[in-house]
Amino acid sequence: MEVKNKYVAIKANINGAPKESDFEIKVENLSLIVEPESKEVVIKNLFVSIDPYQINRMKSQSSSQTSISYATAITPGEVIDNYGVGRVLVYHRPDFKKGDLVSGLLTWGEYTVVKEGSLLNKLNPSLTFPLSYHVGVFGFSGLASYGGFFEVLGQYAKLLGCYAVGSAGSQEKVNFLKETLGFDDAFNYKQETDLKSALKRCFPQGIDVYFNNVGGKMLEAAVANMNSFGRVAICGVISEYTNASTRAAPDVKDIVYKRIRIQGFLAADFMPVYEDFLSKTVEYLQDGKLKTIEDISQGVESIPSAFIGLFYGDNIGKKIVKVADE
């Protein structure tokens, strides 16, 4: 028994900003017959996450990067693994049965053959939220937020009683941050001629905590406006993924005199507190204290443009592609 599996691949390594012509939609024949001893599980993909970090795997790899987890090279022409949600079609493992809803390391395609040892978990059936939540707010994006207030930054910060200011690239997003998400303030970084002054205006008392997934000039401006013993959590640096010339050069004198701590982290580092994260997040959602913001495109064919759009700020909220109906 075989199906046609449509999937997205890169044609060659991508070293600048990604564009449509860098990608191709390929079709392969995928066997649904799995050898019992292989312990493989075939998944029908339902939702896949679209994340900026993938661009780093698409670059020509320097020797120093290949040893870093989450940075293993993506090979042109081949299937791209990616976090997602799907349904079990075929299995040879006692812990899964046909029809199970699962999350884990799936692919930018319609089906995934999950090998033994690869990340795959059954969804908790008591979580009666939309399936896409398992890619966004319950997935690595949410875990990063929780472990370091990332994707829903201001929301977690507000929940914990902080004065929170957001930054976005359009007036529409700025309004959304202030009016829908309840940020204390927000500004359009594209309309500021001097980010240091913008932050000084928004934070008259200085900044204690800065969550950085942008990098570049914003990191420099934040460090300049930080209070003593301020902390910077960095889980991404999108402006530097496609343009190395935007690299941040924060003033190290500020780091010394103000004893600033800068800490890089990955969402996966917080897997040990996943259960805590999940129960608190469910509670916040049920109480209406946390809002999910999802930006969902349809079909495998939309993956390249969904991904490319991340680097132009096209999305509002967590970018997800719906691959198939449940």
- What's the chain's length in residues? 326
Which residues, numbered 76-135, are part of the site for a copy of itself (CB under 8 A)? none
Quick one: how far is CA 79 from the chain centroid?
Answer: 19
Count Cα neighbours of 323 within 13 Å in the Cβ-side half-sphere.
29
Number of residues forming the site for a copy of itself (CB under 8 A): 39
Burial of 293 (0-12, 13-18, 19+ CB in 10 A): middle
Residues 228, 233: Cα–Cα separation, whole Å:
15
Cβ-based nearer residue to a copy of itself, 133 or 270: 270
CB 246 within 8 A of CB 219: no
Q: Pick from 15, 20, 70, 326: which binds a copy of itself (CB under 8 A)?
A: 70
Which residues, numbered 243-302, are part of the site for a copy of itself (CB under 8 A)? 247-249, 251-266, 269
Which residues, numbered 28-67, are part of the site for a copy of itself (CB under 8 A)? 56, 64-65
Q: Pick from 166, 236, 304, 317: which binds a copy of itself (CB under 8 A)?
A: 236
**Least Å distance between CB 269 and a copy of itself?**
6
Cβ-based nearer residue to a copy of itself, 92 or 231: 231
Q: Which stretch binds a copy of itself (CB under 8 A): 41-49, 239-247, 284-292, 295-303?
A: 239-247
Q: Amino acid letter at 47? A: F
Cβ-based nearer residue to a copy of itself, 160 or 252: 252
Q: Pick from 17, 32, 71, 273: which binds a copy of itself (CB under 8 A)?
A: 71
User: Hey, is 291 helix, strand or coil?
Assistant: coil
Cβ-based nearer residue to a copy of itself, 208 or 240: 240
Range 193-223 burial, b when 16+ CB lie within 10 A, else e: eebeebbeebbeeebebbbbbbbbbbbbbbb
Please give the helix or strand (H or E) that residue 6 lies within, else none.
Answer: strand 2-10
Selection from 117, 103, 123, 98 nearest residue 40 by Cα: 117
User: Hey, is 161 helix, strand or coil?
Assistant: coil
Q: If binding is defined by CB under 8 A, does position 241 make contact with a copy of itself?
A: yes
**Least Å distance between CB 231 and a copy of itself?**
10
Q: If binding is defined by CB under 8 A, does position 197 make contact with a copy of itself?
A: no
Which residues lie closer than 8 Å to 75 by C-beta, 6 or more apart? Answer: none
DSSP state of 109: B
Q: If binding is defined by CB under 8 A, does position 12 make contact with a copy of itself?
A: no
User: Hey, is 271 helix, strand or coil?
Assistant: helix
Q: If binding is defined by CB under 8 A, does position 208 make contact with a copy of itself?
A: no
Residues 106, 198: Cα–Cα separation, whole Å:
41
Cβ-based nearer residue to a copy of itself, 180 or 228: 228
Cβ-based nearer residue to a copy of itself, 177 or 248: 248
**Least Å distance between CB 314 and a copy of itself?**
22
Cβ-based nearer residue to a copy of itself, 32 or 249: 249
Q: Which residues bind a copy of itself (CB under 8 A)?
A: 56, 64-65, 68-71, 212, 215, 219, 224-225, 228, 234-237, 240-241, 247-249, 251-266, 269
